[in-house]
């Protein structure tokens, strides 16, 4: 499992690293071209920039919270089993954190940001509709 989590995180990070410069370059060029009086289309895009960042940030925090809840439930269940069925962990000790906990947590946190940035790169890369 840790290998799969590490692979997923690596793919997300690489895709994000490729998408972000495209989006930033497009939006900075658009900001510069719009000047002091942006068109209605430009104003919609500029508003969308902030709204998407806020939505992706909130979704990221929610993903972290859900992943932490799953982790806490798993640990609570393991300790509960150890308390009432001591033989369940005979010779192995009570499990602690899974080895890929931080990888899964980081991947869950990065997923909404990755989804938004790559969608923007695709949308903005298509050019004018």
**Which tens digits make up the pLDDT trace of 28-49?**
999 999 999 999 999 999 999 9
pLDDT band at 26 (very low <50, low <70, confident <90, very high): very high
* Among the listed residues 86, 88, 108, 105, the one whose alpha carbon sits nearest the alpha carbon of residue 97: 105
* Among the listed residues 73, 71, 126, 72, the one whose alpha carbon sits nearest the alpha carbon of residue 101: 71
For residue 125, the SS3 value is helix
Number of domains composing the chain: 1
Q: Residue 118: CB partners within 8 Å, gap ≥ 6?
A: 15, 16, 19
pLDDT band at 85 (very low <50, low <70, confident <90, very high): confident
Residue 13 near residue 110 (C-beta atoms within 8 A) = yes
**pLDDT over threshold 60, residue 62:** yes
**pLDDT over threshold 70, residue 76:** yes
Domain hosting residue 20, numbered range: 2-125
pLDDT at residue 10, as a whole number: 93
pLDDT at residue 46, as a whole number: 93
């Amino acid at each position: 499992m840790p290998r799969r989590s590490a692979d997923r995180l690596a793919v997300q990070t690489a895709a994000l690293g490729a998408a972000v410069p495209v989006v930033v370059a497009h939006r900075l060029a658009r900001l510069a071209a719009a000047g002091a009086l942006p068109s209605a289309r430009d104003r919609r895009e500029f508003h969308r920039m902030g709204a998407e960042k806020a939505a992706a940030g909130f979704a990221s925090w929610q993903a972290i919270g859900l992943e932490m809840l799953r982790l806490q439930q798993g640990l609570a269940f393991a300790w509960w089993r150890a308390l009432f069925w001591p033989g369940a962990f005979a010779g192995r000790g009570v499990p602690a954190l899974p080895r890929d906990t931080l990888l899964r947590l980081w991947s869950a946190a990065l997923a909404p940001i990755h989804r938004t940035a790559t969608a923007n790169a695709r949308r903005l890369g298509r050019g004018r509709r």
